[in-house]
Amino acid sequence: MTYTCQYCKKDFIRESSLAVHCCEPKRRHQDQNEVGVRLGFNAYLKFYELTQGSAKLKTYTDFAESPYYKAFVKFGRYCVNTRVVNPARFTEWVLKQNKKLDYWCSDKLYDEYLLYYLKVETMEDALARAIEHSIKWAEEKSAAPQDFLRYGNPNVIIHAITNGRVSAWVLYNSDSGQKFLSDLNEEQRNIIWPYIDADVWTKKLREDPANRIEAQELLTQAGW
């Protein structure tokens, strides 16, 4: 009697040999619950949905056997490592932009998406992300989350703005945000300008008074 690997069909005389055996198809099967692989699989389904009209018949096995498996998984892992804001939206965006799959894991491309996304996401999503980020900062610094923009290191805050953790929704609608912006030097302002472009945001906030007022109230109540 032999033991057969169900993934690559290789035969083994001992069951223990099969148990320790590792092949690419088996590895792909075992990796299916890894976050980056899940994101890659979702992108693969979305790709079929948009290009072929339906992804209903595609299974994880189809994905694992696809010649595009590695490229999609690379994209999924890129989303995890870069801490991409809203990976599902990023996937839809790259697909709609008709970008080639091997170009999807590009920081330049992600930045382009982020600048687009920050202007169209909801006020609630923007505030929730900033608050979540401030809680992590507060835990590390033994500080109060609402003091992030008040007492955080300016370079750390600038980084949080350019990677999308702190949005213009927060900066323009909180006392500590306004103060932070007014204290920046020219070089610092230039770095964050594309993300908080006052010309764009003044207009955007003026045209959406309900959300602007709600953001101000929420941030004031939270002590920002």
Binding site residues, Zn ion, CB under 5 A: 5, 7-8, 23, 26
Considering the complex, state which of residue 22 and residue 144 has its C-beta at the smaller distance from Zn ion: 22
The distance of closest approach from Cβ of residue 58 to Zn ion in the complex, given in angstroms and rounded to an integer, is 23
- At residue 11, φ and ψ (nearest 5 deg) are -95, 145
Residue from 73, 60, 58, 113 nearest 89 by CA = 113
d(CA 115, CA 90): 11
Cα–Cα separations (whole angstroms), residue 83 to 52, 153, 207 = 29, 21, 30
Q: Of 7 and 148, which CB lies nearer to Zn ion in the complex structure?
A: 7
Residue 26 or 159: the one with the smaller Cβ distance to Zn ion is 26
Least CB distance from residue 22 to Zn ion, whole Å? 7
Q: 7 or 75, CB closer to Zn ion?
A: 7
User: Which of 27/136 has CB closer to Zn ion?
Assistant: 27
CB of 102 to Zn ion, least distance (A): 28
CB of 72 to Zn ion, least distance (A): 21
| Cα distances (Å, whole numbers) of residue 31 to 59, 140, 198 | 15, 32, 45
Q: Do residues 166 and 125 lie in contact, with contact meaning Cβ atoms separated by under 8 Å? A: no
Q: How far is the CB of 9 from Zn ion (least distance, A)?
A: 7
Note the Cα 112 to chain centre separation in Å. 13
